[in-house]
Amino acid sequence: MVWMEWNKLCRPKAKGGMGFRDLKAFNLALLEKQEWRLQHESNSLFYHVFKSKYFPETSFVDARKGRNPSYDKWTPSPSTYRVESPRILLLEALDTLIDSDHGLWRADLVRELFLNFEAENILSIPLSTRMPLDKLVWAATPNGTFTVKSAYWIVVEMRGAEQEGTSVWSLGCDVGSLAISLVQFMAIAWNIWRNRNGIQHGKEPKKKENLILEAFRFISEFQAVQDPPIPSVHRSQTSWLPPEPSVYKANADGAIFKNLSSTGMGVLIRDYKGQVVAALSQRCFAPLGPLEVEAKAMKAAVIFARDVGIKNIIFEGDCLQVYNCLHGTSKAPPAVANVLNGILFHLQSFHSFDFSHIRREGNKLAHILAQHAQFVSDFVAWVEETPSFLETVIASDVLDCL
């Protein structure tokens, strides 16, 4: 008989354990649920009893963390979600980092105050021009809602990491007590290998923190662009189809320029004959992820169509996740919830509207416009004229739908 430690038996079967329930970890997860309730259910009897006894003069968060709300977990950094830049350089209020008039980060100020990798991470958070109030989200679930199950597995992994540690010794990158999955381990190892190859060819070596952050970002970007199975009730188009007479169609797409730490958005509005009514190529100086830039591109399409004066329109894109969220068939991830809510707000300007999903090959014109954004300083718009670099492609695109 082979004896094993109890903490190893409590690991998931996929990670070499037996999947036994760790009661201590489960108890901590249940306690975390009560903390979540104290921050979201302020009208409950449970909240009023605890507030009168433990934090009568302040809020639950301030009672536990003092007077530094800006140091809470608000950045999308793996494992900690905390700001790691020296606190002496940080501002007391985060709103000073945001241009509220345009709904954009003050990029120069962010890069001045934060470490390089952390500044890029902050700038990757999409903002909404409506500037909604901040809200708490649970990073361990796709929809941002707390579940005991997700908290339980976090506690199990953290306890296992504390007891054993996880190091990529042979590759020269110690990740300490960071709990990582096999996929994350392989991504980090691959990024270290790529970094070493770059050093051999004269490139500057990257810091350990940047290597780990890039590896996690590669994984999230790969997962974000994977289209989930399409429900049987929805059939995606593979080629562009014209709208009905008196209705216009706006195709939108996003592009990521990693070397420039920026993204691009393209919008093309056409009528029922396939003729161009207006086009937009806009650059965003923020290193957004795939899902974020697709959501921002759709919002740019809605605002652009409104400014052009169109009243009856169909908005079309190739991101199925954004399409499902706007149709209400799935809950918006926290990262783009404010952007999508902004889209729904601006739709009040139209007499009629609808959303459509199209495969990437059918959205190539909007993609070309998005790619063109890397050559513009802010944005360029064409009204009642066709961009010269699209003329040949548009002709073939219209012929394909006949």
Task: List per-block mean pLDDT (blocks of 10 residues) for the chain, which spans 402 residues.
Answer: 64 71 74 78 78 76 55 58 54 70 79 76 76 71 73 69 45 48 76 82 80 77 58 60 92 93 94 92 89 94 94 94 89 86 90 92 93 93 91 74 57
pLDDT confidence of residue 372: 95
- Is 40 in contact with 32 (CB distance < 8 Å)? no
- pTM tops 0.75: no
- Is 126 in contact with 297 (CB distance < 8 Å)? no
Task: Name the DSSP class of 229.
Answer: P
Query: Whole-angstrom Cα distance, residue 367 to residue 360?
Result: 9
pLDDT confidence of residue 119: 79
pLDDT confidence of residue 170: 40
Query: Whole-angstrom Cα distance, residue 63 to residue 394?
Result: 60
Position of tokens 């793996």?
78
- The C-alpha angle 249, 250, 254, rounded to 5 degrees, equals 150
pLDDT confidence of residue 231: 42
Strands (E), 241-335: 248-257, 262-270, 276-284, 312-317
- Is 214 in contact with 191 (CB distance < 8 Å)? yes
Closest CA to 168 of 148, 188, 195, 139: 188
pLDDT confidence of residue 92: 54
Instruction: Catalogue all structural domains in the chain, each as residue range(s) with its CATH number.
Output: 6-123 (no CATH), 167-224 (no CATH), 248-400 (3.30.420.10)
- Is 207 in contact with 117 (CB distance < 8 Å)? yes
